[in-house]
Each structure stands twice: as structure tokens, then as C-alpha cells.
Amino acid sequence: MRTALITGANKIISLEMARKLADENYFVYIGCSDLAIGEQVVKELAAEGIGTVDIFYVDISSESSIDAAGQEIGILINSLDVLINNTIDTFFMSTYGLSAHPDSGKGIFEVNDAGTKGIVNKLTELLRKSLSPRIVNVIWTSSTRTGTNQSAQTFFHHRLPDLQPAIELMRLQTAHVVNKPRKTNFKIDTIVTSVTGIDPHDHQVIQKVKNESIDIIKYALTGKKDLGSIAVSLDIGGDDSTCAAV
């Protein structure tokens, strides 16, 4: 059975991604900083008859936690086929513009740069053992390329100038860690999508997150860019890099 690993996701994203991967005959490991949420996902999927999902603890903002998680996964599996890194949600940043604190973007860089690089670094050897290793970095945020300069949009004041360079860092660091992926069988992408379900009572937002979670997995497994509103910001695996909103 093929293996997949998901990090950094909330309950809704984890549930939908794990369900879709399990349907495609993957054993799924979900990395959680809150094991209670992971246990809820496993329990809910088990009630549907899906038993090929397990959880492990990892805090992607902590180097020691990433090290421990890498060792744990290395004991559980011999190879890894798909790695999905879910990162960052800046919607509730309360300061912006002239009132922004110098450290306001620090957490974004720690997660998108050091966190993603650390996860990939720890799992690279397992990924190398796959016939077709796949890495997809997903940024869930209200801040996107297409909306940064549109002040009339609802969430303009919550968009952070720290986010775009953090995205670039995450993409470049991931590519660097796997050592010139164009000359290997690695396939790597960064996907920037819309804000997560910040309001548990907003059923439209929750449904959108569910749909996009499923579409991201479809893209990870097939490479087909029929993802609706999802922006695919980098495709590193082939001969050419691509940048497109699809």
C-alpha cells in the first residue's frame, strides 16, 4: 500500500484529505500539534469503515518536534509517496500597516521557511525510496497574489506584506532540500488557496474548504490543474516551472 503524510492541517482539511487519499488506496499519517483533533478525525473515518489512517504528534514551528516526528515516521514506514504540507493562516493578525510590530511576520517565516524545510529534510530519504515521490505545499490564507493590491476587497487590511516573501522562501527552500528535483523523479508544487473555515458556523466557507481539500489531493495524485479557484504558484518537477491561476 502506498503511503501519504499530511502536516499542519485543521480538522476539516485533515478529514477531507485523509478520506480522499484513503479512497485512492493510501495509508495516511496525519501530523498534529493537537492530538485530540487528530483522534477525532481517525474516529470519524473509522466510523465510515476507513481504517488506514493514523496520527502522530508534530509541531512544525519546533525543530525538536520535527526531529522526533521524523524518527517516529521512519520506524513506521519504509518509504513515503506523498507529502502534503499545510501551512499558515494569517487572517486574525490584528496589526498591520504603520501599527505593525516588527515581529508580526516572524511566525509566518518560521513555519513557511524553517518548518517546511525541516519537515521535508527529515522525510527526504523516505521520499527517495518512492517510485514517484510527490510534495505539495499548501498555503491556506486570506492573502493571495491576486488580491494583494485590491484595497476594496473585504480582507485587504488583513493581508500581510510578510506573506509573499514567505511563500517564495518556502518554495525555494523545498526545492533546494530535495537537491535539484528536475534531475530526479520528485514532483513538487506550492499551492496558494483561500482562507480556511475560520467560522465553524459558516457552512459555505466550510464547504469551500472541504472541496478545495479534495481538489488538492486530486492534483497531488494526478497533476491535473482543474482546481477551480486554487492558485498553483509553482510546478518544479518537470523541465519548466509554471505559474498559473487555475
Instruction: Give the CA count within 13 Å in the CB-facing half-sphere of 223.
Output: 11
pTM of full prediction above 0.85: no
CA separation for the pair 208, 172 (Å, rounded): 28
- Is the distance from CB of 84 to CB of 7 less than 8 angstroms? yes
pLDDT of amino acid 144 = 40
- Is the distance from CB of 83 to CB of 119 less than 8 angstroms? yes
Please give the class, per CATH, of domain 2-245: alpha beta
Q: pLDDT tens across 126-153, in order? A: 999 999 999 888 877 654 434 344 443 4
Q: How many secondary structure helices (H) and strands (E) does the chain include?
A: 7, 8
Residues written for the chain: 246
pLDDT of amino acid 14 = 87
pLDDT of amino acid 153 = 44
Domain boundaries, the chain: 2-245
Q: Taking the CB of residue 128, how many other CB atoms lie within 10 A of it? A: 15
| Residue 187 confidence (pLDDT) above 80 | yes
Ramachandran bin of 70, using left for φ above 0, alpha for ψ from -120 to 50, beta for the remaining angles: alpha
Nearest residue to 220 (alpha-carbon basis) of 161, 136, 139: 136
Q: Which position has the higher pLDDT, 181 or 116?
A: 116
Q: pLDDT tens across 25-80, in order? A: 999 999 998 999 999 999 999 999 999 999 999 988 889 999 999 999 999 999 99
Q: Which position has the higher pLDDT, 190 or 171?
A: 190
Strands (E), 148-243: 187-193, 231-235
What's the whole-number average pLDDT of the chain? Answer: 74
Please work out, in degrees rounded to the nearest 5, the angle formed at the alpha carbon of residue 245 by the alpha carbons of 136 and 91.
Answer: 70
What does the radius of gyration of the chain's CA atoms come to, in whole angstroms? 17
Report, as an integer, the average pLDDT of 189-208.
66
| Residue 19 confidence (pLDDT) above 50 | yes
